[in-house]
Amino acid sequence: MRYEAPDSLEGAVALLAGAQGEARVLAGGTDLLVQMRADVLDPDLIVDIKKIKETRAVTEEKGGWRIGAAVTGAELKEHARLKKAWPGVVEAANLIGSTQVQGRATLGGNLCNGSPAADSVPALIAAGAVATLVGPKGKRDLPVEDVMLGPRKLALGKGEIVASFLLPPRAARSSDAYLRFIPRTEMDIAVVGAGVSLTGAVAARVLLVAEAAQAIVGSRLDVPAQERLEAAARAACRPIDDKRGTVEFRTQVAGVLARRAALIALDRARSNS
């Protein structure tokens, strides 16, 4: 098994594009190393992207925020201005695993692991985040919701990697929130997750579920609007039945979480005025 730690995106892309056999990107390693240990994966090449400047930076860009794919949850939490602009994205990233895992786990890894239970992904989608991909054919931007096609299936070509995410500029009186349901208090994998981003405290944008956004756009998020949001979130739900939750339970909880997350985001947006 070969290990490479290039210091440029071009270097990483060249290694991955030219790889014989299976190649994997290593960011925080909190999923990759576990899968290697469990013999789910046995890559021939590991490309560590943490020495690449662009993947490790949080910078302001066009009034929004660019977050490198290999920035850890702990680093996001310590970034006071980012946390104020996008508390939902930061809290979602910090629900991933323990303190130890938060010291390593990254937004890029959480997305590219391709799990439907990834905590930071709904928050990024609700935020309208765009992933910047770099590959053999150059650079392209893709909305986060279009990167993951299904469980473990990504829209990335051979040699293509997620380099960073761009969170859009924040209007006044805007905020976001992420909630998940787990049977324990901490350290678990989401059975249901819901991310909501609100703008202007009266209008709303929930990019994941267009019908849910429609249900509350133009409203003051009063009780009837909350009920419409719950119903829309449930209607859009396509969960699976497994030992962690039934379809019926997950659908019910999705509505409740969407409503609660919207109310938290509303409260935060009001305090940002």
Partner 1 sequence: MAKHHIEATVNGDAVEFLCETEETLLDVLRDTLNLTGSKEGCASGDCGACSVMLDGRLVCSCLVLGCEVSGHKVETIEGMAKGESLHPLQQQFLKSAALQCGICTPGVLVASKALLERSPDPTETEVRYWLAGNLCRCTGYDKIVSAVMDAAATLRKG
Rounded to the nearest angstrom, the gap between the alpha carbon of residue 193 and the centroid of all alpha carbons in its chain is: 11
Q: Nearer Cβ to partner 1, position 8 or 169? A: 8
Q: Tell me if 72 sits within 8 A of 105, measured CB to CB.
A: yes
Q: How far apart are CA 11 and CA 121, in angstroms?
A: 27
Pairing, β 64-68 against β 58-61: antiparallel
Site string for partner 1, 112-151 (x = CB under 8 A): ----------------------------------------
- Kindly state the number of chain residues that form the binding site for partner 1, as judged by CB under 8 A: 28
Give the tokens for residue 105: 């786990």
x/- string (CB under 8 A) for partner 1, residues 47-76?
-x-x---------------------x-x--
Strand-pairing partners, residue 65, are: 60, 167
Among 16, 25, 26, 71, binds partner 1 (CB under 8 A): 26
Q: Which structure tokens are listed for 103?
A: 């010291």
Closest CB 24 distance from partner 1, rounded Å: 11
What is the Cα gyration radius of the chain?
19
Which of the ranges 10-18, 33-41, 55-63, 156-164 carries the binding residues for partner 1, by CB under 8 A? Answer: 33-41
> Which residue in the block uniquely carries the two structure tokens 């999923």?
31
Candidates 11, 14, 17, 36; binder of partner 1 (CB under 8 A) is: 36
**Least distance (Å) between residue 226 CB and partner 1:** 29
Instruction: Show the site string, 87-106: x = touches partner 1 by CB under 8 A, - = not.
Output: ----------xxxxx-xx--
> Starting from the edge strand earliest in sequence, which strands make up the sheet with 192-199, in order?
174-181, 192-199, 203-205
- Minimum CB separation from partner 1 for residue 34, in Å? 5
Q: How far is the CB of 91 from partner 1 (least distance, A)?
A: 13
Amino acid at 98: S
Stretch that binds partner 1, among 1-9, 110-118, 157-165, 241-249 (CB under 8 A): 1-9
Nearest residue (CB) to partner 1, 47 versus 191: 47
Residue 189 binding partner 1, by CB under 8 A: no
Read off the tokens for 187.
């350290």
Pairing outcome for strands 174-181 and 148-150: unpaired
Residue-wise DSSP of 114-132: T-TT-SHHHHHHHTT-EEE
CB of 50 to partner 1, least distance (A): 8
- Answer whether 27's CB lies under 8 Å from 5's CB: no
Which residues form the interface with partner 1 (CB under 8 A)?
1-3, 5, 26, 28-30, 33-34, 36-38, 46, 48, 50, 72, 74, 97-101, 103-104, 185-187
